[in-house]
Structures are given as C-alpha cells and as structure tokens.
Homo-oligomer: A and B are copies of this chain.
C-alpha cells in the first residue's frame, strides 16, 4: 500500500506556510513565493515550469522525491485557484496552464460541485464535495499501490493532520520571516497526534525535515 504524504512544503522561521492576501497574482499570498525559492532553483522545478537548467543536489533530490511514486494528489480549493464561492463558469483550470505537473488524478476539495477537467499530460481535476475522508478514499482508489500526495494548502494539511490521516511529511524549514500568514502548526500538538521527527538534512539554503506517524 502506498503512503499518504506531504512533500516539499515550506515553513517560515516564524511558522507560516503561506502569506496573506492570496489572489491571482500571488498564489502563496503577498511575499509568499520566497518560501519556495529553494524549490524554484531545482532542476526538478525548472524541468516542469522553468527555462533554466536548474540545480542538482540535496534540494533537488527532495523536490524530485516528492513526485516519485505518486498516484494521486489532493489539493484544497485555494491551492487550486483564487476563485471563492460557487464556480462562476468553467474557465478556471488551475494555476499551472494547459499541462499541469501532476500527471495523475487530482482531487480538489470544494463545497461547490463541478465536472472533472481532463488536462494535457495525464492530469484530471476531480472536484470532491464530500469532505477530506471522501477525497482520500477516492485518491487512494485512484493511486492503487502508489502514494497519495496532499499538495496543500495550509488549511488542508492541518485538517488531514488533525485527523491523523497523513503518514509522512517532508517539510522545508526556511529562514524566511513573513510576519503574518497561515500558521502550519499553531494549536496542533504533533507528538500527541503521533508524529515524530525521523530525518534531517540541511542543504545550505533550507533544512529538510521528515516527520512520520506511528
């Protein structure tokens, strides 16, 4: 059986994984992109979205591992896009253009039903209105013996953590100061939820931390 996991998810020094003020120009909030500077520099990211060669090394190893053996993704509504409330039309198809990097079924948590969207490259967005457990059931069925990756955002990961449904997290502990934002851990007692730190690999730009449950 595959694992349910989070990967390449950054945390600021002051505990935030997204800035405030998300909109179409600021998918991770105003100033939030700098949380992911380490990832943008990697060969893995540049091959997907960039124009440069990208760097190899520890950061790239972790970025690549986040995509390996993933059979389905789960995203929160806000990670899928800036649209709030009922879908006004079918025009919004995610932040990632015609060919998103997922290349698997992607289950988007939402309160508002919408038909699936098949994109180029193997990604299909499915919209799940039945809550986090229903989405996970569908993702596991789609993934088979591969992993389910919970892509984010913060509120989605917090819901799955609180429910004890995530097996493994790879976090990138960054020295970025945001000041305000969406706190990843505030009010969550991770050891009480069964998580312990099992890995640590600093790269020079961030420190990669592995948490596992049980």
Residues of chain A touching chain B, judged by Cβ–Cβ distance below 8 Å, are 11, 13-15, 171, 173, 175-180, 183, 185-186, 188-192, 195-197, 200, 202-205, 207, 209, 211
Contact = CB atoms under 8 A, between A and B. Distances in A.
A207 B177 contact: no
A68 B70 CA distance: 50
Nearest to A190: B177
A185 to B, nearest CB: 4
A177 B190 CA distance: 7
B15 A186 contact: yes
Given A186-B186, A202-B203, A203-B202, A13 B209 contact: yes
Contacts of A171: 13
A175 B190 contact: no
Q: Give 8 nearest A-B pairs by CB, closest first.
A: A202-B202, A179-B189, A179-B191, A14-B185, A15-B15, A175-B209, A175-B200, A207-B207
A180 to B, nearest CB: 6
9 contacts: A14-B185, A14-B190, A173-B207, A175-B207, A175-B209, A177-B190, A177-B195, A183-B186, A202-B202
